[in-house]
Amino acid sequence: MFTPEAKAELRRQFGLDDPPLVQYVKYIGSLAKFDLGLSFSTRRPVINELKERLPNTMVLFLSSFVLTTMIGISVGVYTASKRGTFADSFVTGAGLFAYAVPSFWIQLLLLMLFGYYIPILPIHGTMSAPPPDGFFLQLLDRIHHLILPAGSNVVIAFGSWALYTRNTMLEALGQDYIVTARAKGLHEKTVLRHHALRSVLPPIVTLIFSALPGMVAGAVITETIFSWHGVGKYLLDAVMQQDYPAAQGAFYLIALAVVTCNLAADVVYGIVDPRIRVGEGGAK
């Protein structure tokens, strides 16, 4: 049992004696300075623990994002040019299936397949314990551990990208300027890449940046299933342990990532589509 003196000391340490408005101002000031307090579990600064885990999350996020974007858009362009073929039907069916089932189910299935039945990939962690000697061997070991979590994200997300790209490309391929380009005798690859794809880049860019927040939030599930030492697993562990400062810090970091992604979407959209400009002359 806490004594009245101990309770009063705790209220003073956490600023609970101040009026609510003063508490809120101090709270916003602490967030602006990234002063996220101490973890209840480890008694370490939350910001230091997040710094230790953020690089792992960034590696997983960027690799998944780049691979998903490249594969999804490329497959979408290819299936649009092969409409009605087996490849088109297969990609459409696979994309709808991956989009319909829960993401964790696919990840658990891949975990069981490549970790138990065909044990060729590590099923947890970011590096072997103990780690191999030498920078090059450590790099290969990290890539080996990255294949399964990043690959699962690609399997889950590529279908929606491919289907969206395919549908927008099919609409563009029916336009008059595509007919004109083909009538000029241009190669089909040139028509696809430099005419059709370029005309549908703005909605694809919107899809890319609108999907970023979801991929950031999805790190919680991916990192937990594969025991990836990142911010997502840190958040879930903090919630399970009722470590409020740690959970608040992780939520704050994810919220900043979402806001940054939305801002980047507005900026890049204006670059990709010359008809959209912010500032003088933008309304003309």
Domain ranges of the chain: 37-167+199-272
Q: In 10 A of CB 246, how many CB atoms?
A: 26
Closest CA to 49 of 218, 216, 231: 231
The pLDDT of 38-42, averaged and rounded, is: 86
- pTM of the complete model: 0.80
Q: What residues contact 200, with CB distance under 8 A and at least 6 apart?
A: 165, 168, 169, 171, 172
Residue 225 has pLDDT above 60, yes or no: yes
Take residue 265 and report the two structure tokens written for it: 């979407």
Closest CA to 205 of 118, 275, 273: 273
Percent of the chain topping pLDDT 70: 95
Confidence of residue 284 (pLDDT cuts 50, 70, 90): very low
How many angstroms separate the CA atoms of 188 and 36, rounded? 56
Question: What are the φ/ψ torsions at residue 38 (nearest 5 degrees)?
Answer: -105, 145
pLDDT at 260: 84
CA geometry: angle 273, 265, 215, nearest 5 deg: 135
Take residue 175 and report the two structure tokens written for it: 């336009």
Closest CA to 232 of 220, 244, 248: 220
How many angstroms separate the CA atoms of 218 and 206, rounded? 19
Domain 37-167+199-272 has CATH 1.10.3720.10: yes
Which helix (H) or strand (E) is 3 found in, with range? none
Confidence of residue 3 (pLDDT cuts 50, 70, 90): confident
How many angstroms separate the CA atoms of 96 and 92, rounded? 6
- Is the pLDDT higher at 156 or at 277? 156
How many angstroms separate the CA atoms of 84 and 124, rounded? 41
pLDDT at 267: 78
Confidence of residue 283 (pLDDT cuts 50, 70, 90): very low
Instruction: Give me the chain's average pLDDT, please.
Output: 83
pLDDT at 273: 66
